[in-house]
Structure 1
């Protein structure tokens, strides 16, 4: 999940990249990859930062 945490930290389009990561990991689909996400606090932190930033009003 380090790869996904890095994607979030750099502002990458995680939803677009996730299918490639799932294939690389040998998972059937991105849905089977999501199961691992809750076990990575760093990833959850980066995802929360992106969500909070999306709620901010544009300057």
Structure 2
């Protein structure tokens, strides 16, 4: 699997995991879990963008 495709797939996975954590934190009124979910979601977005850039650059 190409590095760009791997980054895009992992980025999507982190976005989904982050959203689940964020929603679980909201439901349980756990601000730490909600914050961790938001952070993981942001990291997933960045990783996915890195994969898209690598794909355009031909890596």
TM-score, normalised via structure 2 length: 0.35
Greater relative contact order, per chain length (Cα 8 Å cut-off, separation 6+)? 2
Radius of gyration: which is bigger?
A: 2
Q: TM-score, normalised by structure 1?
A: 0.35
- Higher helix fraction (1 or 2): 2
